[in-house]
Amino acid sequence: AQSVTQLDSHVSVSEGTPVLLRCNYSSSYSPSLFWYVQHPNKGLQLLLKYTSAATLVKGINGFEAEFKKSETSFHLTKPSAHMSDAAEYFCVVSPYNKLIFGAGTRLAVHP
């Protein structure tokens, strides 16, 4: 069975510092992986997706993620956090046209 584990439930950074949100996946074959963001009381927005093309995936708002098969990881990074990045982030794996969500990481950004 495919699954994702988000290693941190909460991450707190200062504005202007780097962001790292960690995600490990479990899959019996090469998966499709996504990061979604959810701002408070809002719906879900796709940040980026990996579908077996380039291992370094660039997304919206300066976010990127690197697919590392040897480590079964798909960590999300951003060089410099902005206050507007404060939100819940979900790592997602997609087997057979279904999405399986991680538990989420809440990112707090402090001035």
Partner 1 sequence: NAGVTQTPKFRILKIGQSMTLQCTQDMNHNYMYWYRQDPGMGLKLIYYSVGAGITDKGEVPNGYNVSRSTTEDFPLRLELAAPSQTSVYFCASVREGNYGYTFGSGTRLTVV
Binding site for partner 1 (CB under 8 A): 32, 34, 42-44, 46, 49, 51, 90, 94, 97-104
For partner 1, the closer CB: 36 or 81: 36
User: In the complex, what is the shortest distance from the CB of residue 22 to partner 1, in angstroms, rounded to a whole number?
Assistant: 15
User: In the complex, what is the shortest distance from the CB of residue 99 to partner 1, in angstroms, rounded to a whole number?
Assistant: 6
User: In the complex, what is the shortest distance from the CB of residue 50 to partner 1, in angstroms, rounded to a whole number?
Assistant: 9
Cα dihedral: 11, 43, 34, 102 (round 10): 60
For partner 1, the closer CB: 73 or 102: 102
User: In the complex, what is the shortest distance from the CB of residue 13 to partner 1, in angstroms, rounded to a whole number?
Assistant: 20
For partner 1, the closer CB: 87 or 102: 102
What SS3 string covers the chain? CCEEEECCCEEEEECCCCEEECEEEECCCCCEEEEEEECCCCCEEEEEEECCCCCEEECHHHCEEEEECCCCEEEEEECCCCHHHCEEEEEEEECCCCCEECCCEEEEEEC
